[in-house]
Structure 1
């Protein structure tokens, strides 16, 4: 947990170029569509971000219904900054912000990431199944 010097915010103060760089740094295909990605983030209910000076090094996107359910959609940290507790800190910010909601949900796209979320209090749904339509 050596994230000294990292600043966290819920202000959407990032630029399209900063978002593109961060998403491409982790190899996410959405980084190849910077205009759509930026628009999606700006339209999101909440975005928590982590900064090293003016460098965007981490981001969590949350979609919510304003009362009952919050869905954590993205959790990503620049590979050069991984292992410093940045993602965990941002997830804890989400839990704090949405503490009065009935549900905070996440769908890790890779099952290997389930342990990270379990460490932060998430439980695997006993009868849940992930589903999607991909129009891309």
Structure 2
């Protein structure tokens, strides 16, 4: 599997929307034209973004909000179902953590808890998993 990783925040709205549809985070019935035109706004305003590509197909992405020192929060880690379990999500998170190695890492999840625990996150409460910040 030949996957190329990129760090651009400017993901194409249509490709991002198709990825979100595939993982069940978007709906064609409830998404308006205006929403489609601004679908990547969260990514454009994030601290950093990584994406995974197979040719010109967006197969995965993740975005992070961070102060670049103390705390970093993972949002919207998504991988196309047919590409899952191939290390893409793990690699996207590895690249994120590499940007702020000493930061506390936070992700809120209930469905992907096992995935995050496998890559080093620890349960803090029933839904919030963290990697402790070295400064606190």
TM-score range normalised by the length of the shorter chain:
0.7 to 0.9
**Residues 29-108 of structure 1 mapped to structure 2, 5 A cutoff:** 29=26, 32=31, 33-101=35-103, 103-108=104-109
Contact 1:30 1:37 in 2 (8 A): no
Contact 1:57 1:78 in 2 (8 A): yes
Contact 1:20 1:34 in 2 (8 A): yes
Residue aligning to 2:4: 7
Contact 1:19 1:34 in 2 (8 A): no
How far is 1:67 from its partner?
2.5
Change (3 A) 1:96 1:53: same
Structure 1's consecutive aligned runs of 4 or more residues displaced over 6 angstroms after TM superposition are: none
Tell me, what secondary structure is at the counterpart of 1:51? Answer: strand
Of 8, 12, 17, which residue of structure 1 is paired with 2:14?
17
Question: In angstroms, what is the RMSD of aligned CA positions?
Answer: 2.0
In 1, distance between residues paired with 2:50 and 2:42? 14
Structure 1: which 5+ residue stretches go unaligned? 131-136
Size of the aligned set, in residue pairs, is 123
TM-score with structure 2 length normalisation?
Answer: 0.80
In 2, distance between residues paired with 1:36 and 1:70? 24
Change (3 A) 1:129 1:118: closer
1:102-125 deviation line (CA, Å, top 9, x unaligned): x111111xx341111011111001
Of 12, 24, 31, which residue of structure 2 is paired with 1:27?
24
Structure 2: which 5+ residue stretches go unaligned? 129-136
